[in-house]
Amino acid sequence: MTDLNAPNHTLYVRNIDESIKLNELKEEFTKLFSKYGNVLDIHARKAMKMRGQCFVIFETLDSAIQAKQELNSFVFHEKALDIQFAREKSDLVVKKFDKYDQEVVKKRRRIRENKRQGISVTVPKTTTMEINQQVQENPETTNVTEQNQQIQQPQIEIMPRTTQNIQEKKKEILPTKPNRFLFVENLPQEAQKVMLDLIFGQFEGFKEVRTVPNKHSIAFVEYDNETNSTTAMNLLQGFEIKSEKIKISYLKV
């Protein structure tokens, strides 16, 4: 089964034997997953709808990727584990690593609290008529708006539309045709081939990663067809490696 979530520190584990007690599950999972790196937390609940599943949060992305790769379908208490990457970063990971993303944690807490209390938050709407009336009643606002409109309208130089101009413009805006090869840019120096193999190898049809000597910031990734390369590109676009967001595009062939 192809994982449609981008790699992150948190693994979502399903198909766990529901007869295992919560404390025993956490203890056994800690031993099992700690082989691949430091486990920050194992989040499981007694609630009926949460039985048979849990979240395992690693300190490093490499650990999570390796654990998923080696333990997916691992037989645990006579049941094969189904392991995928979680859809979102856990609050614990956001707190520890994403110091500029603290609002995400606060927002999630507010939403959960509102749901528990049955509160729905509505934002009052201002009608177009009310806005127009406020503008008309305030001459200063009207003057500023007119000035902004004058400033924001640039002078456009009209050029003759020749066949050559049109063809050159088409070349500039024409996107690269989808194919099975990807071009990866903005890689940090620490992104070695082994790490890239783990990240891109999570997706179906992966064949290989090719790095360039003396150019650590770029790499080439090959899949068996353009459908699988497109899936990987869409899900990993902007993915962070050592705080650097990678850029992925189709290779021009």
Q: What is the pLDDT of residues 51-107, one digit of tens each?
A: 899 999 999 989 999 999 999 999 999 999 999 998 866 555 545 555 445 555 556
Residue 235: partners with Cβ closer than 8 Å, 6 or more residues away: 4, 5, 6, 203
Q: Are 32 and 72 in contact (CB under 8 A)?
A: no
pTM value is 0.47
For the domain bounded by 10-93, which CATH number is listed?
3.30.70.330
- Outline where 102-223 has alpha helix (H): 102-117, 128-137, 139-152, 163-173, 193-200
Q: Is the pLDDT of residue 126 over 50?
A: no
Average pLDDT over residues 174-202: 88
Higher-pLDDT residue of 253, 185: 185
Q: Predicted confidence band at 125 (pLDDT cuts at 50, 70, 90)?
A: very low
* Percent of the chain with pLDDT strictly greater than 90: 45
Token pair, residue 152, equals 């924001």
Q: Is the pLDDT of residue 150 over 50?
A: no
Per-residue confidence (pLDDT) for residue 221, from 0 to 100: 95
CATH 3.30.70.330 intervals, the chain? 10-93, 181-250
Phi and psi at residue 193, in whole multiples of 5°? -60, -40
Q: Tell me how many helices (H) and strands (E) the chain has.
A: 9, 12
What is the rounded average pLDDT for all residues in the chain? 77
Per-residue confidence (pLDDT) for residue 174, from 0 to 100: 55
Q: Predicted confidence band at 144 (pLDDT cuts at 50, 70, 90)?
A: very low
Q: Is the dihedral of CA 156, 158, 161, 164 positive or negative?
A: negative
190, β-bridge pairs: none
The span from the CA of 244 to the CA of 188, in Å, is 6
Per-residue confidence (pLDDT) for residue 37, from 0 to 100: 95
The span from the CA of 20 to the CA of 40, in Å, is 21
Q: Is the pLDDT of residue 116 over 80?
A: no
What is the DSSP code (8-state) at residue 240?
A: E
Q: Is the pLDDT of residue 128 over 50?
A: no
In words, the CATH class of domain 181-250 is alpha beta
Token pair, residue 134, equals 């406020």
Phi and psi at residue 39, in whole multiples of 5°? -95, 120
Higher-pLDDT residue of 239, 144: 239
